[in-house]
Amino acid sequence: MDDCAALEKTLAMAQRVLADLKTKAAGFTSLTTPSNLSIELEDKQEEVDQLKARLSAAQSAKKETQQLAQAETSRPSLMRSRVLEKHYIERDEAKKLLKSFEVALAQPHEQALLSR
């Protein structure tokens, strides 16, 4: 389980507890609410707010990491020769061309350009 998933699970549990505390507090007036319930409610609200902030930061960091990884995979290879873009061919196309040259060299009498 990654950090974001753990934080989401913890946040969901804290929000459930907070909702339960709010339901309990709703049964009292502001003057008759027990002090321990008020303190628990404030503490749980603070915990939920902190978890939301941590989750947001973790999601941003995860997104940034994914973007950096994507940028690394999409950058041009340092091994690529310095040819103009119009002369560059992809690896699959180059393999096909080499295969056709191999066939042509193996059968020079059937190839017009190689029969000289």
User: What confidence score (pLDDT) does residue 79 get?
Assistant: 63
Of 8-22, 27-41, 84-98, the one with minimum mean pLDDT is: 84-98
User: Model confidence at 104, in pLDDT bands (50, 70, 90)?
Assistant: confident
CA dihedral sign of residues 102, 103, 104, 107? positive
**Helix %, strand %, coil % of the chain (to 5):** 75, 0, 25
* Structure confidence by residue, pLDDT tens digits, 24-61: 999 999 889 999 999 999 999 999 999 999 999 999 98
CA 82 distance to own-chain centroid:
32
Helix and strand counts by DSSP (H, E) for the chain: 3, 0
User: Model confidence at 80, in pLDDT bands (50, 70, 90)?
Assistant: low
